[in-house]
A and B are shown apart, each in its own frame.
Chain A
Amino acid sequence: MLMLEVAGGSEIAFTALVQRYQNPLLNFFARMGASSDCEDLTQETFVRIYRYRKRYKPAARFTTFLYHLARNVWADRGRKIVRIERLAAEFQTEVEIAGQRVPEHRSETADMEAALDQLSPKLREVIVLNIYQGLRYQEVADVLEIPLGTVKSRISLALGALKEILHER
């Protein structure tokens, strides 16, 4: 509903939209691995939401639209800064667990961050969208434009990898 008002050009609605979703977006980018540029990425996402407001279809969930754009922002950032060898590793396989580095004894939060860092981007994004952003599997599939079955298998692979890293199995 709010997004429809934004599509109509309402600044009040847009302000409310930013206020409602700025924290979820900041967390999305933080969990995806952004550091000091979380806020910039969040801003860029809202700018795109406004630019593409007329493409929003009321039939679709707003969160699908939101995270689809956020993921594009994240991908654009990746294209700008990710090193070639890291991209190569990403394309090698999404099943493979990157590295065998075992975190030293640290706090659980630091352990989890380190564990997330070891996931491939494709596995990491399904975890971020599902576990942190609270999207159902079908919504994750809609955001990533992949089949539901692929979401299910990626989440299983990601959780399996995390268990491995955290010595859960």
Chain B
Amino acid sequence: MNAECQHRTDADAYEAGELSPGERAGFEAHLVSCAGCRAAVESTRRVVGLLRSMPQVQSTRDLAPLIISQLRDETREAPRPARWVRIAAIAAAVTLLAGGAFMTFEKAASSTEPTAAVADENTASMQRALDWFCQNQESDGSWNAERWGGNRRFEVALTALPALALLSADPQTPQQLTAVAGATKWLQAQQTGAGSFGPEFQGASYNQGIATLALLHAYQRRPDPALKRSLDAALANILSRQIRTGGWGYRYSQVTDRSITEWHLEVLELATALGWENTRPSLELGRTWLAANPNPRTDAEEPADSPSTLLARAGSATAAESAKLDFYRAYFLSSALKRKRDDSSHQRLAALRQTLLLQQVTDGFDAGSWPADDRWGRAGGRLYSTALASLSMRDR
């Protein structure tokens, strides 16, 4: 090799394809007359070939779960406000929720409308939840129940709930529209010939009610003939399963379940409002049953709903522990409070939302979601808690 040649360093760049077209042409012209550089190019080629012939290292396992677990641990260990500050904040919200006065909300209590700042905070909270849903939707349009701590048999309901939360956004962002379209398509694909959704098991009634409700909301936003056919079948299935009492229950059971009945009535109310006429008799029958059976969960006047009662029940439990929400109850209670127009209901709704806000995750992978640490968390996981909490934050 000609060590003295000024083009020597170009040999490696030439072999690596790093010379510009002009440089390359010039170097190739030089190669014709420089045996040293030709040898250098050839030598580089051999060495690079040898380097590349070394076997690649292949990992034997997926490192992602380990890393995510490590990051979660770090997030949990991250500094948070002092425990007494958090307890005081939650206790304050609890006090208000129980009907007590708290000066933070004095102004809000003077009006039946929330203050702009509070409304903004609620909207921002809901937006964070919707972002979390958009980020964690599967490519097929579903949300993976098991990934988020839920039971996979409820995957239909646990896809419909985020879809419902996304459908409540107004206006919807393009990302939210895409997420809803994906979820709608996935839900339709789960429908059987009998009009039901997902697997047949005891809790299938939840899948049926919540999926139908989500599809009705999607249809309300964007009427579509295929979606209507799907809804016709889903509604026929629901009507066929109404129990003689007027309510609905678990599959294979003739006992009316309040929660399942409430979902189904929400479905029939919307379907009737959207023009389905055959749903009206069932709706009336269901309403009659509901009126005859007072509801400790949804009746906003019912004392059993008040956290003060919870606190009394909890005995020695701390205020923070007692204030831990049952998201299911929060959803139904907020729906009931929203329908009322008096100051007291608005005040209680504000306090309920304040309690929810305090429990929303603000950092890390789960930012925007709510931990599913209530009694239904094992069935619904984080999808359930986040969907119902965010739906409790909406104004409509």
Contact = CB atoms under 8 A, between A and B. Distances in A.
A, B from the same assembly: yes
A14 interface: yes
B64 A156 contact: no
A12 B136 contact: yes
B136 A23 contact: no
B63 A43 contact: yes
B46 A168 contact: yes
Nearest to A137: B18
Nearest to A168: B43
B368 interface: yes
Given A15-B68, A30-B57, A9 B132 contact: yes
Interface stretch (B9-17, B88-96, B192-200, B339-347): B9-17
A8 B16 contact: no
Please indicate which of the listed interface residues B13, B50, B138 has the most CB atoms of chain A within 10 Å of its own CB.
Answer: B50
B47 A162 contact: yes
Q: How large is the interface on B (under 10, 10 to 19, 20 to 34, 35 or more residues)?
A: 35 or more
A26 B59 contact: yes
A112 B50 contact: yes
Contacts of A163: 43-44, 47
Interface in A1-45: 5, 8-15, 18-19, 22-23, 26-27, 30-31, 38-39, 42-43
A112 B70 contact: no
B51 interface: yes
B186 to A, nearest CB: 15
A72 interface: no
A73 interface: no
A127 B131 CA distance: 42
A48 to B, nearest CB: 11
Contacts of B8: 156
Given A23-B59, A108-B53, A9 B368 contact: yes
Q: Say what secondary structure dominates the interface of chain A.
A: helix
Please indicate which of the listed interface residues B13, B57, B74 has the most CB atoms of chain A within 10 Å of its own CB.
Answer: B57
A19 B70 contact: no
Q: How large is the interface on A (under 10, 10 to 19, 20 to 34, 35 or more residues)?
A: 35 or more
Given A12-B135, A109-B55, A155 B16 contact: yes
B365 interface: yes
A169 interface: yes
Contacts of B104: none
B6 interface: no
Interface string A132-162: 1000110000000000000011011001001
A89 interface: no
A46 B67 contact: yes
Contacts of B70: 43, 47
A162 B51 CA distance: 10
Interface string B39-63: 1000110111011111111110011
A18 B136 contact: no
A159 B12 contact: yes
Interface string B343-382: 0000000000000000000001111100000000000000
A152 B13 contact: yes
A10 B68 contact: no
B314 interface: no
Contact of A112 (B54, B71, B132, B138): B54
A14 B64 contact: yes
A122 B367 CA distance: 40
A65 interface: no
B1 interface: yes
B365 A112 contact: no
B66 interface: yes
Contacts of A19: 62, 64
8 contacts: A15-B64, A22-B62, A26-B57, A39-B59, A130-B16, A132-B52, A152-B9, A162-B51
Give the 10 A-B residue pairs with the shortest CB-CB distance, closest first.
Answer: A10-B135, A18-B64, A15-B64, A11-B365, A156-B9, A30-B57, A26-B57, A46-B67, A156-B12, A168-B43
Interface of A: 5, 8-15, 18-19, 22-23, 26-27, 30-31, 38-39, 42-43, 46-47, 50, 108-109, 111-113, 127, 130-132, 136-137, 152-153, 155-156, 159, 162-163, 166, 168-169
Interface of B: 1, 8-9, 11-13, 16, 18, 39, 43-44, 46-48, 50-59, 62-64, 66-68, 70-71, 74, 131-132, 135-138, 364-368
Given A15-B64, A112-B54, A131-B52, 11 more contacts: A12-B135, A27-B57, A42-B59, A43-B67, A108-B53, A112-B53, A137-B16, A156-B8, A156-B9, A156-B12, A162-B51
